[in-house]
Amino acid sequence: MELNEEKLNALLGKVVTEMGAAANGPLITIGDKLGLFTALSESGPLSSNELANKTDTAERYIREWLSAQAASGYVQYDAHTQKFSMTPEQAMVFGNRESPVFMTGAFYAIASVYHDEPKIEKAFQSGEGVSWGDHSNCLFCGTEKFFSPSYEGNLISSWLPSMEGLVEKLEKGAKVADVGCGHAASTIIMAKAFPNSSFIGFDFHAASIEQAKERAATAGVANISFEVATAKDFPGTDYDFIAFFDCLHDMGDPVGACTHTKAALKSDGTLMVVEPFAKDTLEENLNPVGRAFYAFSTMLCTPCSLNQEVGLALGAQAGEKRLKEVITKGGFSGFKRAMETPFNLILEARP
């Protein structure tokens, strides 16, 4: 087989780009923890010394950190003034924690997959699963940090209104379950927005439920509670609304989860399933978003499902067609895509 020099150089260039991205990942979490991105985005052009003084950090490290971010295209550098700054777009992604496209949380989750690589290597060889709770702790905070901005920016303003009649029920007072709630970012957002409704968050990971209780107490929401339970055995009936946020594909038996959910809903209740955005075929998902989600799916979602009963292992790129099959097998007769974002499918099901 003849070697194509041009294709080889293009591939090597791509790999070098990837090396830089992988190596810069820890610098992004450091920048987030120390407030470097935020300080730079709020203060305008700064020298490395000025940013170090503002954040109480060491100038020599800051100089190198800024250089890496400038080379990555994450901050701007002015060679004439030798100062650094951030564009409004860069600030939205890295500097503004209230932004719906704030992305630093993803890099905490990425850190966890490197920590857990030996476990996944063994799983590749054995075919066994790896429990969600057996991952590095930085996965749990990273997952919350990654999903929260999207929930904050979309859940109340567009996702819930896309479900016919749901907002009116929530405003009057509805009984709501958030299944697979994790650290409760979604539960708390809804509870704040609809004080007349009662919310209960369920998760099979006990440590996440404890963290959820702390987060809710800090947020000062009184219409919310939490319990450790799986999606197939959470207690209660006559729910007006049940939500699954980015978790159905992680379950070992998602059909069983949907069957239990249908039984727990009122006859006129609503199920909302938020899932990672995906088309229905591999070839349609060979793009940057699909690439990221397939990687997370290999390291996190598929092992989590395989560790549970049935182990259907939908994966994070299941797509609407496959998800519809699962939800309707669970007994739901009404199904539609309510809306989508670049990162999520928002699906609605009715009994």
Q: What is the CATH number of the domain that holds 51?
A: 1.10.10.10
Same domain, 226 and 296: yes
Domain final residue pick, 68, 95, 122: 95
Same domain, 62 and 205: no
Same domain, 85 and 168: no
Q: Is the pLDDT of residue 136 over 90?
A: no
Q: What pLDDT, on a 0 to 100 scale, did the predictor assign at position 148? A: 87
How far is residue 243's CA from residue 245's CA, in Å, rounded to a whole number? 6
- Number of domains observed in the structure of the chain: 2
Same domain, 108 and 52: no
Q: What is the pLDDT of residues 151-174, one digit of tens each?
A: 999 999 999 999 999 999 999 999
Token pair recorded at residue 188: 């708390």
Q: pTM of the entire structure? A: 0.91
CATH number of the domain to which 205 belongs? 3.40.50.150
Report how far apart, in Å, the C-alpha atoms of 224 and of each of 117, 166, 205, 274, 336 are: 36, 18, 18, 21, 28
Q: Is the pLDDT of residue 91 over 90?
A: yes
How far is residue 106's CA from residue 248's CA, in Å, rounded to a whole number? 20
Q: Quick one: CA torsion of 214, 296, 303, 315, rounded to 10 degrees?
A: 110
Same domain, 15 and 74: yes
Same domain, 17 and 152: no
Same domain, 334 and 226: yes
Q: What is the pLDDT of residues 172-189, one digit of tens each?
A: 999 999 999 999 999 999
Same domain, 24 and 77: yes
Q: Kindly report the number of other CB atoms within 10 A of residue 193's CB atom.
A: 15
Same domain, 133 and 65: no
Same domain, 134 and 72: no
Q: What is the pLDDT of residues 13-22, one digit of tens each?
A: 999 999 999 9
Domain final residue pick, 33, 60, 95: 95
Same domain, 48 and 161: no
Q: What is the mean pLDDT of residues 256-271?
A: 97
Domain final residue pick, 95, 117, 136: 95
State percent of the chain over pLDDT 90: 91
* Residue keyed to tokens 């299941």: 318
Range of the domain at 42: 5-95
Same domain, 295 and 327: yes
Q: What is the pLDDT of residues 77-86, one digit of tens each?
A: 999 999 999 9
Q: What pLDDT, on a 0 to 100 scale, did the predictor assign at position 139? A: 87
